[in-house]
Amino acid sequence: MSAPPMSSAPGGFWSPPDPALAAAGADGEWAVARVRLIAMALLLISPTIKIGREPDIPIHVWGFGITVLAAAAAVAIAWILRTRTWHPAIGFASSALDVSLVTTALVTFAFASSPLEALNSKVTFEMYFLAIAATSLRYDPRICLAVGALAVLEYAGLWLMLAWWFDLRAAALVTEGGTYTALDQVTRLILLGVAVMLSFTLVRRAERLQHASARDRLTGLYNRLHFERALEVEIARALRHDRPMALAILDVDHFKPINDQHGHSVGDRVLRELGARLTAGLRLSDVVARHGGEEFVILMAESTSARAAERIEQLRRAIAAEPIDVGNGLTLAINFSAGVAGMSGKDDRLRAATMLDRADAKLLAAKRAGRGCVVGDEGTTRSGP
């Protein structure tokens, strides 16, 4: 699980999705998989009837074969989702497969019947739009662009290949589907491009809304609700793979006197600067959030309690050693107390609230120990200021 850097906007053009959107993308992949299974079951009806009635007609044989192949792919994807951990690569692969199956069907029509059956298809071509629309359910703009570009390139390649091999204006190739017009093919490519941009824009819009709803307005860090959702996801992942993780709760020492003596605007500057220093001093995979007031929480995946406590103690010492410039020539030395709780990945009843309670109990122990220290599962860590 990766947290984007603290900012007022979503990540870069090719950045991974936000952890919450990544989880939504996993749910979206399951939704697409279920729809794909139902669709393939229904789409098998017509070619099965046709090949039963007229088994000697090549287009019926090929149509049945392609549909069976697509149905097998639908079953395989559903099985992978059930047995493997979700990864964006699954979304890339399944979306690309959907597009490529449409292209395969059109190629089959071109050689089993007529090139114009492929280029003038009124039903199969529209399946590109379904595949492109489904990419938005993965909530990953990279998938929208990559798979959309694949659809455009595959159809353009099909058109160029058929134009190279056949005289598409020959009367012998004309079918009930109509005649060949280059402008129609250009229009189809433009429509595919528009569909890709709409899908991409939809996901980027979702990213912006998610970013706005998940961020604390003062510090730009994640807010409490988003953090607790991310914690539930990470706990489930750690349990599934028997991996360690740790959770830290930090509380700024003696923060109320800062507000009382210097005003809330100075207190706000302290919180913003502290949030920025925490983010800069941790891994990109660590999730930092403002839990409320002067409390911050940090989710450290793939980290034992001992390693997490050591890293938080290093941060505490660095932050305490460098006073914060709050303007007007005023600097304030800031310290904090922290509690760190870890898990080994073996407690299958563990929940986010339980982890938070464990870390909070350690934080209370740190305050009782005199503040300015870190208490983890292994005891108290205090060195430096």
Q: pLDDT tens for residues 72-101? A: 988 998 898 888 777 788 899 999 999 999
CA distance 284 to 86: 20
For 82, other C-beta atoms within 10 Å of its C-beta total 9
Determine the average pLDDT of the residues in 177-182: 82
Q: Longest C-alpha distance within the chain, in Å? A: 92
CA distance 44 to 35: 14
Q: What is the pLDDT of residue 140?
A: 92
Q: What is the pLDDT of residue 291?
A: 93
State the chain's mean pLDDT as an integer.
86
Q: What is the pLDDT of residue 80?
A: 87
- 184 vs 175, higher pLDDT: 184
Determine the average pLDDT of the residues in 336-362: 83
Determine the average pLDDT of the residues in 324-333: 88
Please name the residues in contact with 276: beta carbons below 8 A apart, sequence gap of 6 or more. Answer: 6, 219
- 236 vs 286, higher pLDDT: 286
Instruction: Using pLDDT thresholds of 50, 70 and 90, give the confidence band for residue 349.
Output: low
**346 exposed, middle or buried (CB, 10 Å; 0-12, 13-18, 19+)?**
exposed
Determine the average pLDDT of the residues in 359-377: 93
Q: pLDDT tens for residues 52-75? A: 888 887 777 777 888 888 889 889
Q: pLDDT tens for residues 223-266? A: 998 888 888 888 888 887 788 899 999 999 999 999 999 999 99
Q: What is the pLDDT of residue 8?
A: 41
Domains of the chain (ranges; CATH) run: 19-214 (no CATH), 224-381 (3.30.70.270)
Q: What is the pLDDT of residue 63?
A: 77
Q: What is the pLDDT of residue 137?
A: 93
Determine the average pLDDT of the residues in 316-323: 94
Which residues in 306-334 are b (16+ Cβ under 10 Å) and which e? bbbbbbbbebbbebbeeebebeeeeebeb
Percent of the chain with pLDDT over 70: 91
Q: pLDDT tens for residues 202-229? A: 999 988 888 778 888 899 899 998 888 8
